[in-house]
C-alpha cells in the first residue's frame, strides 16, 4: 500500500484538528497505549531496587548498576527475535508473548526473595525485560502505523506520555512500600550484628520488594487476556513474504537517518536511565534528604517528565520533531552541567528540569528513525529497541566515574549527541519516503 508523504515538513501547515486515530481503531489503540504505562512501572522500580539492594545486599554502586545491566540486556537480546515473530504472526502475537514473559518475571521475585540471592533477582529482571522487548518492539511501530503518517509523531508522543505515569506510580509505590524508612547508623549496625539480628533485618528489607512485583504480575497477565480477546486491525503495510521478496528498497544499513537514530537512542536511553538511577544517591550525598524523601523527589522528576510529554505533544503541532529534539538536547546538556558544578538542592532541581526536557526524546527519535522504512519497519524497530541496551552500558559507566555529581557528565555528553542527530542526521533522503506506509 503506497501512501504519498506530505510535500512539506512544516507542521504549522497541517490541520491541527486532524484525528490522531481513525474511527474503528480506538479500542486497540487504547489497549496498546496502556502498555506504555505498564512497562514504565518496572523501568522505574529499578531505580528503587538499586537503592534498596545496596542496603539489603550491602553492595557497591557499581554492583547495584548490574540491576540495569541485567534488565537492558533482556531488551538487547530479545528485540530481534520479537521482530522476527511479528513479521510472521503480527503485532498482537508479539504483544501477547511480551505480556506473558513480563508477568512471569514478576512472579519470579517471590522465589528470588526466598533464596535471598542477588543473581536470582537479576535473572527475574532479565525475564521481565525480555517481555518488555517484545512489547516495545510491537507497541511503538503499531502506534506509529495505526493512523495517518502526518500525525505519527504526535500519536507516539501521546501514547508515550502514559509511560511516565507508570514510572510515577512505580516510584510512589516503591518509596512507600519497598523503602522501610529505616536508615541505620554504623553504630546501630554494629549493635545489631553483636545481637545477631542484622541478617534478619537485611532479609526483611529484601522481602519488601516481593508484594509490589506479585501484584504487578497479576495485572499484566490480566491485560494479556484483554489483548487476546480484542481484534487488531491491519496497519497498512504488507509484510507478506512475497512483498518482502520483491522489495528492492535501500537496506537499513544504507539509511543514514535510521542508523544514527539507533546510535542516538542508545545514548539517550543511557542518559535517561543514568539520570534517574543515581538520582537518589545524588540527593542523599549532597543534601540532607533521607532515602525515602529522595524517592519522593524522584517522583517529582517523573511528574516533570510526564508534563514534558504532554507539552511536547502539543508543541509538535507547530514544530517538527527534529527541531524540538535539537532544542531540548542543548537545554539538557546545559542543565546537566549545572548539576555537576553546583551539587546540592540546586542540582536536584536541575535534574528535575532535565526530566522535563528529555521527555520527548525517546518517542521522537523512534518516529524519526522508522520514517520511510516501509517493509523494513519491524526489523528497524527491533534495532532501535535493541539500542535501549545503552541504559545498561552507560549506567555502569556512570558507576565507574568517581563522584556522583561528576558521573552526570556522561548524560550531559549524550544530550549533546542527541542534539547533533536532530539537526544534522535525522532527515530521510527524499527517495526513502516513496511508498512509505508509516
Domain membership of residue 407 (yes or no) is yes
Question: Is the separation of the CB atoms in 201 and 192 below 8 Å?
Answer: yes
Query: How does pLDDT run along the chain (438 residues), one tens digit per residue?
Result: 333 333 334 444 445 556 777 777 889 999 999 999 998 899 878 878 877 887 788 777 678 778 878 888 888 888 889 888 887 888 899 999 999 999 999 999 999 988 888 899 999 999 999 999 999 888 888 888 887 777 777 788 888 888 878 888 887 888 888 877 777 778 888 898 888 888 888 888 888 888 999 999 999 999 999 999 998 887 655 444 544 444 556 667 778 888 999 999 999 999 998 998 889 889 989 998 887 788 889 889 988 988 998 898 889 888 888 999 999 999 999 999 999 999 999 999 999 999 999 988 998 998 888 887 877 777 888 888 888 888 878 888 888 888 889 999 999 999 999 999 999 988 876 655 544 443
Three-point CA angle 140, 233, 84, nearest 5°: 55
Count of domains observed in the chain = 1
Question: Is the separation of the CB atoms in 346 and 283 below 8 Å?
Answer: no
Cα–Cα distance, 87 to 66 (Å, whole number): 32
Cα of first residue to Cα of last residue in the chain, in angstroms, is 10
For cell 500500500, the residue is 1
Domain membership of residue 363 (yes or no) is yes
Question: Is the separation of the CB atoms in 137 and 83 below 8 Å?
Answer: yes
- Lookup: cell for 405: 555529581
Three-point CA angle 332, 362, 77, nearest 5°: 125
Domain membership of residue 3 (yes or no) is no
Phi, psi of 295 (to 5 degrees): -60, -40
Residue from 49, 396, 425, 420 nearest 213 by CA: 49
pLDDT digits 0-9 by tens, 166-222: 888 887 888 888 877 777 778 888 898 888 888 888 888 888 888 999 999 999 999
Question: Is the separation of the CB atoms in 358 and 239 below 8 Å?
Answer: no
Contacts 24+ apart (CB under 8 A), 22-25: 22/146, 22/147, 22/148, 24/233, 25/146, 25/147, 25/233
- Domain around 30: 24-235+250-428
For cell 480477546, the residue is 229
pLDDT digits 0-9 by tens, 233-249: 876 554 445 444 445 56
The helix/strand/coil state of 97 is helix
Residue 61, pLDDT score? 67
For cell 535534574, the residue is 351
User: How far is C-alpha 140 from the geometric centre of its chain's CA atoms?
Assistant: 11
> For residue 105, what is the domain's CATH number?
1.20.1250.20
Domain membership of residue 11 (yes or no) is no
DSSP state string for 358-390: TTTHHHHHHHHHHTT-GGGHHHHHHHHHHGGGH
User: How far is C-alpha 59 from the geometric centre of its chain's CA atoms?
Assistant: 25
Residue 414 CB-density burial (10 A; 0-12 exposed, 13-18 middle, 19+ buried): buried
Q: 124 CB contacts (<8 Å, ≥6 apart)?
A: 105, 106, 108, 109, 112
Domain membership of residue 84 (yes or no) is yes
Question: Is the separation of the CB atoms in 284 and 294 below 8 Å?
Answer: yes
Domain membership of residue 18 (yes or no) is no
Domain membership of residue 139 (yes or no) is yes
Cα–Cα distance, 303 to 346 (Å, whole number): 18
Domain membership of residue 88 (yes or no) is yes
Q: 32 CB contacts (<8 Å, ≥6 apart)?
A: 95, 138, 139, 142, 143, 146, 159
Amino acid at each position: 500500500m503506497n501512501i504519498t508523504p506530505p510535500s512539506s515538513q512544516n507542521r504549522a501547515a497541517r490541520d491541527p484538528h486532524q484525528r490522531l486515530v481513525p474511527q474503528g481503531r480506538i479500542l486497540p489503540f487504547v489497549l496498546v497505549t496502556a502498555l506504555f504505562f505498564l512497562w514504565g512501572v518496572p523501568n522505574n522500580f529499578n531505580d528503587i531496587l538499586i537503592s534498596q539492594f545496596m542496603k539489603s545486599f550491602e553492595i557497591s554502586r557499581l554492583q547495584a548498576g548490574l540491576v540495569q545491566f541485567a534488565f537492558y540486556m533482556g531488551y538487547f537480546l530479545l528485540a530481534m527475535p520479537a521482530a522476527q515473530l511479528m513479521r510472521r504472526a503480527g503485532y498482537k502475537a508479539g504483544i501477547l508473548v511480551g505480556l506473558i514473559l513480563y508477568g512471569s518475571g514478576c512472579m519470579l521475585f517471590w522465589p528470588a526473595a526466598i533464596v535471598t540471592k542477588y543473581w536470582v533477582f537479576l535473572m527475574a529482571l532479565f525475564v521481565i525485560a525480555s517481555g518488555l522487548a517484545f512489547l516495545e518492539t510491537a507497541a511503538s511501530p503499531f502506534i506509529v502505523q495505526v493512523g495517518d503518517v502526518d500525525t505519527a509523531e504526535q500519536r507516539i508522543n501521546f501514547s508515550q506520555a502514559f509511560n511516565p505515569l507508570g514510572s510515577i506510580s512505580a516510584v510512589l509505590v516503591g518509596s512507600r512500600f519497598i523503602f522501610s524508612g529505616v536508615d541505620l547508623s554504623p553504630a546501630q549496625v554494629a549493635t545489631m550484628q553483636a545481637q545477631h539480628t542484622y541478617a534478619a533485618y537485611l532479609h526483611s528489607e529484601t522481602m519488601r520488594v516481593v508484594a509490589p512485583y506479585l501484584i504487578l504480575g497479576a495485572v499484566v497477565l490480566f491485560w494479556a487476556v484483554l489483548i487476546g480477546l480484542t481484534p487488531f486491525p491491519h496497519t497498512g503495510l504488507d509484510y507478506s513474504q512475497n512483498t518482502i521478496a520483491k522489495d528492492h528498497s535501500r537496506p537499513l544499513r544504507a539509511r543514514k537517518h535510521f542508523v544514527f537514530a539507533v546510535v542516538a537512542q542508545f545514548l539517550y536511553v543511557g542518559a535517561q536511565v543514568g539520570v534517574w538511577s543515581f538520582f537518589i544517591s545524588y540527593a542523599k550525598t549532597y543534601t540532607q534528604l533521607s532515602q525515602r524523601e529522595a524517592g519522593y523527589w524522584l517522583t517529582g522528576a517523573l511528574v516533570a517528565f510526564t508534563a514534558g510529554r504532554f507539552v511536547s505533544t502539543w508543541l509538535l503541532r507547530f514544530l517538527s520533531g527534529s527541531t524540538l529534539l535539537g532544542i531540548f538536547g542543548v537545554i539538557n546538556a546545559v542543565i546537566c552541567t549545572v548539576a555537576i558544578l553546583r551539587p546540592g538542592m540546586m542540582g536536584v532541581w536541575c535534574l528535575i528540569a532535565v526530566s522535563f526536557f528529555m521527555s520527548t526524546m525517546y518517542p521522537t527519535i523512534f518516529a524519526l528513525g522508522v520514517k520511510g522504512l516501509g517493509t523494513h519497519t519491524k526489523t528497524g524497530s527491533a534495532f532501535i529497541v535493541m539500542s535501549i541496551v545503552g541504559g545498561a552500558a552507560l549506567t555502569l559507566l556512570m558507576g565507574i566515574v568517581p563522584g556522583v555529581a561528576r558521573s552526570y557528565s556522561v548524560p550531559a555528553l549524550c544530550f549533546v549527541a542527541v542534539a547533533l542527530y536532530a539537526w544534522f542526521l535525522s532527515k530521510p533522503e527524499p527517495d526513502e519516503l516513496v511508498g512509505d506506509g508509516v
